[in-house]
Chains A and B, each alone.
Chain A
Amino acid sequence: MRYLPLSTADRSAMLATIGAASVDDLFADVPAEAVLDGPIAGLPNHASEMAVERALVKMAGKNKTASTNPFFVGCGAYKHHVPASVDMVIQRGEFLTAYTPYQPEIAQGTLQVLFEFQTQVARLTGMEVANASMYDGSTAMTEAVFMARRITRRPKCIVSAGVHPHYTSVLKTLTRFTGDLVEAGVPTFTPGAPGDDLASLIAQIDADTSCVVVQNPNLFGHIADLTPLADACHKAGALLIVVVTEIVSLGAIKSPGEMGADIVVGEGQSLGAGLLFGGPYLGLFACREKHVRQAPGRLCGETVDASGKRGFVLTLSTREQHIRREKATSNICTNSGLIALAFSAHLSLLGEKGLRHLAALNHARAVQLADRLARVPGVTLLNGPFFNEFTLDLGREARPVVRKLAETGVLGGVSMGRLWPTEKALAGGMIVAVTETATDEDFDAFEDALDEVMA
């Protein structure tokens, strides 16, 4: 077995040192009825690299990949080009095979990366501080709602209908037993502003409201000025939580911080991670400095060492479960350190100039495709302003259309029927994402295929 260094002679010598006759003696505490005499039945024995690779390559080959098909799927996960050097960086064994930096003297690499990551996330979101990452955007959003409750000591959170329904669903699951009240609406197809209605969100705010959660760009791609909503929240003593699932958008549109957000959470997958069939992704979490002691997750801070040199450590850990146990601000322990590194490396390769260029390119290409698809008979573009994602009303159930497009080799978007199966009024919606990776040929293929399927 190629991963096990002990030889038979080693094992015998070690047993002699221990004073045990056989390794079975070391399992003496296991009750006899639970002892297995040999390898577990129904599972194969060990296999060579070649054999394992052969089996997994075969499985992988059954999937249609984003890079080999015209690809326009988004809704919380986006296909962006990740520079080759990002993967090289995260495969450095010193990053890949390190643990959480509990011994800071020999973990300054990871710690400095986290400090840089926190700074990048804070700047990108327009906030003062960010944590060292969460599992993903949806769990980060839930943690933000809990944080708002701790700060305001109020029970009710209002969730915009423009928030990704899976995120809202996670929030509902995790608040079932915590006493939090979640008010979440159903989206509307208001022409020019599909998704939510900020005025009605404002009208819902009352003295019990801890926070309003809104996504920008929203699920339908619509972007809005959140300033009036932020003002209304603050007037009522509530917090505004802004969710960003396409972080590249912040290279083109005003940051949540500039619009008055108190907590910004997001999915950082767009930079560094790749699609990965949903994970591991990267939860982003940023807030105002005055609230940081109520924040969940790990935080990296600057300090000095015994000889006065700058160094970094995990800090404010008195919020965390290993100290506070049942009174902790969150039960999160492991986060997404390596994906945070990928994000940070990708963003430092882009820099301000590259990120703005990337965002402008995504937007311009999306505008081009939206106008082309809107020409297809029976198709209506619902968006006014948008970033790189927009919603089409197909005037018929979109889910079979998406499936038929896939049969022609075009991965054309996400149907509302998949995300909101119970809302028949939304069934005609198809959400289309466009990134820098889509070519003119992909545009042609999509337009032609949609034309054919709609005909």
Chain B
Amino acid sequence: MSTEMNNVGRPTRLVAGTGAAVETFTGNRALMLEEPLLFERGSLDTSGVDLPPVPPVPDRLGGLARDAVIGLPGFSEPEAVRHYTRLSRQNYAIDLGIFPLGSCTMKHNPRLNEKMARLPGFADIHPLQPQSTVQGALELIDVLADWLMKLTGMPAVAMSPKAGAHGELCGMLAIRAALDARNDPRRVVLVPESAHGTNPATAAFCGFTVENIPANARGRVDLDAMLARLGPDVAAVMITNPNTCGLFEPDLKTISDAVHAVGGYVYCDGANFNAIVGRVRPGDLGVDAMHINLHKTFSTPHGGGGPGSGPVVLSAALAPFAPIPFVRKTANGLELVEEDTAGTHAADSFGRMVAFHGQMGMFVRALAYMMSHGADGLRQVAEDAVLNANYILASLKDLYTAPFASSGPCMHEALFSDDFLDGTGLSTIDLAKALIDEGFHPMTMYFPLVVHGAMLVEPTETESKANLDQLIGAMRHVATQMLADPDAWRAAPHFAPRRRLDETLAARKPVLGFKDSEAA
């Protein structure tokens, strides 16, 4: 009825002509809304929170009351909700479409997990409450730990690391502590040249010296070079499997055995665990420590750059050195081993890595995800993730340079290089920005470093065939057009909330916060 009323007597008619050149008064473009900074809008006298009155008692601030203006604008609730809703619409997100960032595993974030993480029994409890009042929380950590150990075939897991790089640090600290416990001075850590930058950064942080091991022509660690370098000075090998080229390292078990034979340890970067979860257990490959990004394989949301969560599974050799706190089963229920009982139950622990017990909110989400999939579903996750990546590889390798396609299938991500654009003056970044105009988040660019103009495409298992076909269609279209008429493609994106941004200017004259003088 109301629709009819709205239209009666004034039907919309199609009118010829384009509105492209029209400038609007506001700078907005219909649903594309510009939004000023908080500091350009709000007032120091506005608040969107109602609070009870302050009881009239003399203050006990010892003369340290803050008198000067802080400079924090406030907003009523409708203004605040609108500010953030408008800003949100300038973001690409998995909820909007495929987000094929290689090595990042941007899969669907199930909403059940959000709901479970918000149960007051998990969200509204304090890390220092008496342990008798948080037995359910300790149980959740214990059950999640059990899943992680079974999925990886490892006997222990440290739950507290806050993200992948923090987990790497945990694993490498455990290795360092194990070496120190036997007064072993070895300090060399071997890292494949394709490794993510966090690997060498972490090793250096633990006092190790990093040496690179080259890749072979098939994109895997050069086994001969690795074996030749092993010796009594090698503390550990850090290896990513599947590696950063999206390929399985078939020699990992051979490498592990050789590393163990010379008295070293094997650290596996588990960033790409999604490719093998439920199908291969890292423990069977001789790994001593591996972090698991719960925000990748187990779908906890990336949130625009965190929070993550990076539990580390450990071999029997490293387990005694795991950080505190951790959950232990006792006759009276579950106990959190902290400083007071660490001497009894964790005498060799290398210590504490975070103020409290880790990313509980992420634990709940990850466990809800695991329980939803189960052992059978997780196996299917790996299979579909690998199938989707190979479908993309197979559908593009005639047009895009695929440096390792001839060596067989990839795992969960397909690697291309921009060699096919040679002579056009265009490179990976131009292709990525063109995909933005097509409505896609681009793939990972220029990583791994071992391939020229790398494009690493990771679709994940939560994309349908129809979505993949559309991405493939767009990637073929853009590449074909770039080869035909390169000049038309230097300035993309055209339709995003912003054109290409001047990153050089941002770094040369850093403006890292709003200054009131800007408001004119």
Given contacts A1-B380, A27-B386, A105-B499, contact A251 B60 (CB under 8 A): no
A11 contacts partner chain B, Cβ-Cβ < 8 Å: yes
B68 pairs with A267, CB closer than 8 A: no
Q: Which of B150, B375, B505 is the one whose CB lies under 8 Å from A304?
A: B505
Q: Which of B39, B46, B112, B126 is the one whose CB lies under 8 Å from A66?
A: B126
Chain B residues, CB < 8 A from A281: 355-356
B372 contacts partner chain A, Cβ-Cβ < 8 Å: yes
In the bound complex, how far is the Cα of B340 from the Cα of A395, in angstroms? 21
B250 contacts partner chain A, Cβ-Cβ < 8 Å: yes
Write out, one digit per residue, whether chain B residues 400-426 have a CB within 8 A of any chain A CB (1) or not (0). 000000001101000000000000000
| A–B pairs, 22, beta carbons within 8 Å | A3-B462, A36-B281, A46-B376, A56-B368, A64-B125, A95-B303, A106-B496, A107-B92, A123-B71, A124-B72, A170-B351, A276-B123, A302-B511, A302-B512, A312-B501, A315-B503, A322-B197, A335-B306, A338-B306, A338-B307, A406-B132, A417-B340
User: Which positions 96-110 of chain B face chain A at CB distance < 8 Å?
Assistant: 96, 99, 101, 104, 106, 108-110
In the bound complex, how far is the Cα of B14 from the Cα of A251, in angstroms? 57
The 3 closest A-B pairs by CB, nearest first: A351-B74, A60-B121, A278-B356
B375 pairs with A253, CB closer than 8 A: no
Write out, one digit per residue, whether chain A residues 91-104 have a CB within 8 A of any chain B CB (1) or not (0). 11111111111111
In the bound complex, how far is the Cα of B394 from the Cα of A115, in angstroms? 41
A129 contacts partner chain B, Cβ-Cβ < 8 Å: yes
B21 contacts partner chain A, Cβ-Cβ < 8 Å: no
A347 pairs with B387, CB closer than 8 A: no
Q: Which of B66, B73, B94 is the one whose CB lies under 8 Å from A250?
A: B66
In the bound complex, how far is the Cα of B441 from the Cα of A217, in angstroms? 45
B202 pairs with A334, CB closer than 8 A: no
B499 pairs with A305, CB closer than 8 A: yes
A151-159, A199-207, A383-391: which lies at the B interface?
A383-391
Chain B residues, CB < 8 A from A321: 165, 197-198, 200-201
Q: Which residue of B lies closest to A431 (CB)?
A: B128
In the bound complex, how far is the Cα of B513 from the Cα of A113, in angstroms? 11
B479 contacts partner chain A, Cβ-Cβ < 8 Å: no
A173-181, A183-191, A232-240, A445-453: which lies at the B interface?
A173-181
Chain A residues, CB < 8 A from B285: 34
Could you say which interface size class chain B belongs to? 35 or more
B185 contacts partner chain A, Cβ-Cβ < 8 Å: no
- Additional A-B contact list (15), CB under 8 Å, known A43-B150, A100-B302: A4-B377, A5-B463, A5-B465, A23-B383, A64-B133, A93-B94, A96-B109, A253-B66, A280-B306, A302-B506, A303-B503, A326-B200, A367-B57, A406-B129, A414-B128
In the bound complex, how far is the Cα of B213 from the Cα of A297, in angstroms? 28
B127 contacts partner chain A, Cβ-Cβ < 8 Å: yes
CB of A121 to closest CB in B, whole Å: 9
Chain B residues, CB < 8 A from A99: 99, 101, 104, 106, 302, 304-305, 441
Given contacts A92-B84, A324-B197, A351-B72, contact A277 B122 (CB under 8 A): yes
A377 contacts partner chain B, Cβ-Cβ < 8 Å: no
B109 pairs with A97, CB closer than 8 A: yes
A267 pairs with B306, CB closer than 8 A: no
A324 pairs with B127, CB closer than 8 A: no
Q: Which of B66, B393, B436, B513 is the one whose CB lies under 8 Å from A252?
A: B66
Write out, one digit per residue, whether chain B residues 301-340 have a CB within 8 A of any chain A CB (1) or not (0). 1111111110000000000000100000000000000111
A454 contacts partner chain B, Cβ-Cβ < 8 Å: no
Question: DSSP class of B's interface residues: helix, strand, loop or mixed?
Answer: loop
B28 contacts partner chain A, Cβ-Cβ < 8 Å: no
Chain B residues, CB < 8 A from A43: 147, 150-151, 374-375
Given contacts A14-B465, A52-B112, contact A45 B140 (CB under 8 A): no
B226-234, B260-268, B358-366: which lies at the A interface?
B358-366
Chain A residues, CB < 8 A from B164: 333-334
B95 pairs with A94, CB closer than 8 A: yes
Q: Which residue of A lies closest to B386 (CB)?
A: A26
Q: Which residue of B lies closest to A386 (CB)?
A: B60
CB of B67 to closest CB in A, whole Å: 8
In the bound complex, how far is the Cα of B128 from the Cα of A77, in angstroms? 9
B478 contacts partner chain A, Cβ-Cβ < 8 Å: no
Chain A residues, CB < 8 A from B68: 258
In the bound complex, how far is the Cα of B360 from the Cα of A274, in angstroms? 12
In the bound complex, how far is the Cα of B164 from the Cα of A34, in angstroms? 25
CB of A265 to closest CB in B, whole Å: 12
A96 pairs with B93, CB closer than 8 A: yes
In the bound complex, how far is the Cα of B394 from the Cα of A360, in angstroms? 64
Q: Which of B96, B200, B361, B447 is the one whose CB lies under 8 Å from A279?
A: B361
Chain A residues, CB < 8 A from B165: 321, 331-334
B181 contacts partner chain A, Cβ-Cβ < 8 Å: no
Central interface residue in A130, A138, A334, A339, by most chain B CB within 10 Å? A334
In the bound complex, how far is the Cα of B203 from the Cα of A253, in angstroms? 41
